[in-house]
Amino acid sequence: MLAKRIIPCLDIKDGMTVKGTNFVNLREAGDPVSLGKRYSSEGADELVYLDITASHEGRKTFTNLVRRISEEINIPFTVGGGIHELSDVDRLLNAGADKVSINSSALRNPGLIDEIASHFGSQVCVVAIDAKLQSDGIWQCYLNGGRLASDRTLFDWAHEACERGAGEILFTSMDHDGVKEGFANDALCELSTHLSIPVIASGGAGKKEHFRDAFIKGKSDAALAASVFHFGEIPIPELKSYLKREGVAVRI
């Protein structure tokens, strides 16, 4: 059985780690390099860094940050934000990133997934999907950090991304983000059951049981969280020991 992965996520704004609730009300959480080093030493399997403002100047700043991270951290990390073309991917991989995450740019230009997969390999391409459950029971996908509704739905879009060569799907439930009441396990289970690539759960971690449920009920391959790690609510070694006792395969 493949080990399930624990992935701290660091949202970056103006060079600092920030965290909000339902994609708003941001507060600072610390230096991204120092936090990354701490998570690496505590046993995190991977890290995700997202440049959540990603202006042109921000991209330059972010590239320098990625370089610093790669010099200090010895676990794989994914970067996202402001990636619109192959040259952006090339720049971030050359700075030391292991994978890139694309979201709005993939919805606007699905062919970007094919291009990244064919030039750099599917393993480099993580397609992030921010979705919100509508009153009719349909999960609608959103762009621009959850600010703009698209005409795509979660399961159809995830299937297309998979067909185009995505290596992983990172699904964030906008309804669950920062609320700390558990992941969207039903949707995760449907994704994990019907896709041939790994699914990363995001949005909703508040206690250790939520991670267990994302793996057992949601059948996800990895679980991503932010504030519970940033603010010391759930230490990673404690979380992994708990998951192992609950029968979830993790790397200790």
Task: Give how far the C-alpha of residue 143 lies from the chain's centroid of Cα atoms, to the nearest Å.
Answer: 15
Q: CA-CA distance, 14 to 52, in Å (whole number)? A: 9
Q: CA-CA distance, 36 to 49, in Å (whole number)? A: 9
The DSSP 8-state label assigned to residue 54 in this structure reads -
Contact 169, 195 (CB under 8 A): yes
Contact 126, 166 (CB under 8 A): yes
Give 7's contacts (C-beta < 8 A, 6+ positions apart): 44, 45, 46, 47, 48, 200, 222, 223, 224, 225
Other CB atoms within 10 Å distance of the CB of residue 45:
19
Give 151's contacts (C-beta < 8 A, 6+ positions apart): none
In this structure, the chain runs to a length of 252
Nearest 5 degrees, angle CA 95-CA 96-CA 97? 110
Token output for 22: 């339902």
Q: Which residues are catalytic?
A: 11, 130
* H or E stretch at 116: helix 111-120
Q: CA-CA distance, 122 to 201, in Å (whole number)? A: 19
